[in-house]
Structure 1
Amino acid sequence: MKIGLQLGYWGAGPPEGTAEIVDAAEERGFDSVFAAESWGSDAFTPLSWWGSRTSRVRLGTSVAQLSARSPASCAMHALTLDHLSGGRCVLGLGVSGPQVVEGWYGAPFAKPLARTREYVAVVRQVLAREAPVRAAGPHHPLPYDGPGSTGLGKPLKPITHPLRADLPIWLGAEGPRNVAQTAEIADGWIAVYFSPKVAGTYADWLAEGFARPGARRTREEFEVAAGAQVVVTDDPAAERARLKPSLALYIGGMGAPGMNFHAELFRRMGYPDAVEDISRLFAAGERDRATAAVPDELVDDIAIIGDAEHVRSRVAEWERAGVDTLLVGCRDPEQVATISSALHLGSAADNEQALRG
């Protein structure tokens, strides 16, 4: 299994010490560095800025939101980063949710699967650079000929020749139809809140997509990346408590009533009653009680917390469950070193020094 560093998205300002964390990930054997976006910082600029310090790790978006840019614009971002990094870009895409899409980007959320399929097809046309880009729409028509059109739009090929026509496109997906479509049209899947206990269900959804006529990849050619908090510690209870406020936010506050994809995911995982309690308390403004309602077992399902032996065992379990790349968040270079040592990613000398220090 490959280990990647998940930088996430910013809060009120740029997080301190990120450059040193990225340096440590490169030095300690991490395979990749990923950045996210929500409605503040973007995903591409941090990868360009901090990725310029690296020479080996892959640089990925997890995820770039479809409504943030047109597909042609997104392809421009990806091909630029790919050139600057020497072919290390991974383009992770996702639809986000209706609150962000309609509230922040001012675009309709309807038909997310169809929009994703069209978006990916346009990006691939740009990267292939075989002909001027054309798309029938209806979501991303090129050239545009709808209301307000001058009728002067011209199909274009990118001026810059993309470094790789097959630059990998991964999709963030949670529901059964979205995951199946991901297996059909993408090169990889970014799983949010993955748990080995539901790996069989995910495998079935993926298999449906791989079996479709014209599917782009086989399972052997496809990469499953899962985000997880990995903490090597002798005090797992404290680490669970640190993660619960974020989980309460995603379960209770990152969606609308009746349309919260994260909440639905945890229902499928076996926590319908907890999801109901967390959602009700969060909606009532009782965030502390919502946090307290997050079960320890739920945290342990989606995070890997414990001593080095336990972490190694759980990571192996996730690998057996079908995860090819584990994306982990790290607070500082020391956590990078500790994870690297526990999983034997770096050199023997580096691992021994980290365990001593």
Structure 2
Amino acid sequence: MHLGVVIPRTGTHDPTDLAISAEKRGYDSVWMGELWGSSSVVKLSEIAAKTDEVELGTAIVNVFSRTPAVLAMTAATLDRVSNGRASLGVGTSTPTAVENVHGMPFDRPVRRSHETIEVIQRILGDDEPVTYEGERVSVSSVPPLDRDVSVYHAALGPANRRVVGRLCDGWMPHNIPFSGLNDAFEVVATSARERDRDPDKITIAPYVPAAVSEDRDEAYDAVRGHIAYYAGSADGYRNAIATEFPEQVDRVAEAWRAGDREDAATLVTDEMVHDLGVAGTPSEARDRLHEIVSETVIDRPLVTIPEQAADGIAEETIEALAAVSDA
């Protein structure tokens, strides 16, 4: 099994050390998110210098705060310094992040994604200077970079999933319940076929919120907190969870937005944890991860450790789930 890990940002563990450990334990890829506090790309460059074979990816950088040309240059440079090990994971992020952190309007995010990804791919791979006139993105005579870097998109809603089918090398869903993932991918597959693309060549690499502990309750509570945070932080995540848990997620989101964070996490049921993540003792978590991959269209699960609890469970989770890659 191809198995990746999204390295958490913690106060105790340096992400580079966790990435080195993940490579030694057999993970085929390490990924870093980016919201606030540190640049995922700078940190991945450090990881590139201290690892040998593990693939490196952004999970994710948003399509608003960097121009398509900067994203293309970033991907190409990371690919060069890592000797061809880079992947670029992009997404729209959330209105709160884009508007509050970056001071940019969260305007037509699906169109922005489509045009940004299209321009990135052309700058990376075209033979001639790139000129593009879109509704949200325009460039003129940009020299191509001649790098083969896979582009993944963290699309949730149907319109954004169609962008994956039209353009992308991979799909990185988050908070789409595993029981509905096959049906959700059909939107991607249909869009791909309409563009004469083979859906089987699109790598399905979902985030898998995961927590492992000998204390089963501790592990479940870590994933509960993760789900509650996302349910309350943006409608896109809430809508994704609502495809299987509409009433439950509304209660969770309402509590979170009211400031009742502990109550919100408590409202995340065991059933929601089971369908949106992996939690439990080492053997329970390994069995569940293997089950998810066996029963769905997943190609490359990305183990995602809840940052709210990462100080206590990061190393144990990475170690425990590494064995699944050998299954």
One-letter amino acid of the structure 1 residue matched with residue 318 of structure 2: V
Residues 196 and 317 in structure 1, CA contact (< 8 A), matched pair in contact too: no
Q: Which moved more, 1:58-67 or 1:40-49?
A: 40-49
User: For residues 139-150 of structure 1, what are the structure 2 equivalents within 5 Å?
Assistant: 139-143=136-140
Q: How far does residue 232 in structure 1 lie from its aligned partner after superposition?
A: 4.3
Are residues 268 and 56 of structure 1, via their aligned partners in 2, closer, same or farther at CA, if it must alter by over 3 Å?
same
SS at structure 2 position matched to 1:25: helix
User: For residues 229-240 of structure 1, what are the structure 2 equivalents within 5 Å?
Assistant: 229-240=209-220
**Residues 233-277 of structure 1, C-alpha deviations (whole Å, 9 max, x = no match):** 44322211122223222112x12xxxx1111111112x2222222
Where structure 1 has 5 or more consecutive residues not aligned to the other structure, the ranges are 144-154, 346-357
The yes-or-no answer on 1:283 pairing with 2:276 is: no
One-letter amino acid of the structure 2 residue matched with residue 327 of structure 1: L
Partner residue of 2:291 out of 314, 317, 334: 317
If each structure's helix is expressed as a fraction of its own residues, which one has the higher value? 2
Q: How far does residue 336 in structure 1 lie from its aligned partner after superposition?
A: 2.6
Q: How far does residue 332 in structure 1 lie from its aligned partner after superposition?
A: 4.3
Residues 231 and 339 in structure 1, CA contact (< 8 A), matched pair in contact too: no
SS at structure 1 position matched to 2:162: helix
SS at structure 1 position matched to 2:205: strand
Which residue pairs with 1:156 in the alignment? Answer: 142
Q: How far does residue 308 in structure 1 lie from its aligned partner after superposition?
A: 4.7
SS at structure 2 position matched to 1:56: coil
Q: Give the TM-score taking structure 1 as reference length.
A: 0.83
Are residues 33 and 206 of structure 1, via their aligned partners in 2, closer, same or farther at CA, if it must alter by over 3 Å?
same
Q: CA RMSD in A?
A: 2.1
Which residue pairs with 1:296 in the alignment? Answer: 270
Are residues 156 and 264 of structure 1, via their aligned partners in 2, closer, same or farther at CA, if it must alter by over 3 Å?
closer
SS at structure 1 position matched to 2:130: coil
One-letter amino acid of the structure 2 residue matched with residue 288 of structure 1: E
Taking the aligned partners of 1:156 and 1:207, their CA distance within structure 2 comes to 31
Q: How far does residue 103 in structure 1 lie from its aligned partner after superposition?
A: 2.3
Are residues 117 and 229 of structure 1, via their aligned partners in 2, closer, same or farther at CA, if it must alter by over 3 Å?
closer
Q: How far does residue 342 in structure 1 lie from its aligned partner after superposition?
A: 5.2
Which residue pairs with 1:2 in the alignment? Answer: 2
User: For residues 242-261 of structure 1, what are the structure 2 equivalents within 5 Å?
Assistant: 242-252=222-232, 254-255=233-234, 260-261=235-236
SS at structure 2 position matched to 1:285: coil
Q: Give the TM-score taking structure 2 as reference length.
A: 0.90
Are residues 246 and 121 of structure 1, via their aligned partners in 2, closer, same or farther at CA, if it must alter by over 3 Å?
same
User: For residues 258-277 of structure 1, what are the structure 2 equivalents within 5 Å?
Assistant: 260-269=235-244, 271-277=245-251
SS at structure 2 position matched to 1:109: coil
Q: Which moved more, 1:232-241 or 1:45-54?
A: 232-241
Q: How far does residue 194 in structure 1 lie from its aligned partner after superposition?
A: 4.1
Are residues 316 and 341 of structure 1, via their aligned partners in 2, closer, same or farther at CA, if it must alter by over 3 Å?
closer
Q: How far does residue 18 in structure 1 lie from its aligned partner after superposition?
A: 2.5
Which residue pairs with 2:28 in the alignment? Answer: 31
Taking the aligned partners of 1:85 and 1:24, their CA distance within structure 2 comes to 17
Aligned length in residues: 319
The yes-or-no answer on 1:198 pairing with 2:195 is: no
Where structure 2 has 5 or more consecutive residues not aligned to the other structure, the ranges are 306-312
The yes-or-no answer on 1:111 pairing with 2:108 is: yes
Q: Which moved more, 1:29-38 or 1:299-308?
A: 299-308
Are residues 265 and 299 of structure 1, via their aligned partners in 2, closer, same or farther at CA, if it must alter by over 3 Å?
same
Taking the aligned partners of 2:125 and 2:222, their CA distance within structure 1 comes to 45
Which residue pairs with 1:149 in the alignment? Answer: none
Residues 16 and 46 in structure 2, CA contact (< 8 A), matched pair in contact too: no
Residues 182 and 297 in structure 2, CA contact (< 8 A), matched pair in contact too: no
Taking the aligned partners of 2:320 and 2:221, their CA distance within structure 1 comes to 20
Residues 71 and 120 in structure 2, CA contact (< 8 A), matched pair in contact too: yes
The yes-or-no answer on 1:337 pairing with 2:311 is: no
Residues 211 and 220 in structure 2, CA contact (< 8 A), matched pair in contact too: no
Are residues 203 and 156 of structure 1, via their aligned partners in 2, closer, same or farther at CA, if it must alter by over 3 Å?
closer
Taking the aligned partners of 1:124 and 1:238, their CA distance within structure 2 comes to 43
User: For residues 153-232 of structure 1, what are the structure 2 equivalents within 5 Å?
Assistant: 155-158=141-144, 161-162=145-146, 164=147, 166-215=148-197, 218-232=198-212
Taking the aligned partners of 1:242 and 1:304, their CA distance within structure 2 comes to 10
Partner residue of 2:280 out of 297, 306, 313: 306
Q: Determine what percentage of the aligned residue pairs are the same residue.
A: 27
SS at structure 2 position matched to 1:86: coil
Are residues 280 and 67 of structure 1, via their aligned partners in 2, closer, same or farther at CA, if it must alter by over 3 Å?
same
Residues 16 and 43 in structure 2, CA contact (< 8 A), matched pair in contact too: no
Q: How far does residue 316 in structure 1 lie from its aligned partner after superposition?
A: 2.9
SS at structure 1 position matched to 2:210: strand
Larger radius of gyration: 1
Q: How far does residue 116 in structure 1 lie from its aligned partner after superposition?
A: 1.3
Q: Which moved more, 1:228-237 or 1:87-96?
A: 228-237
Are residues 182 and 156 of structure 1, via their aligned partners in 2, closer, same or farther at CA, if it must alter by over 3 Å?
closer
Which residue pairs with 1:150 in the alignment? Answer: none
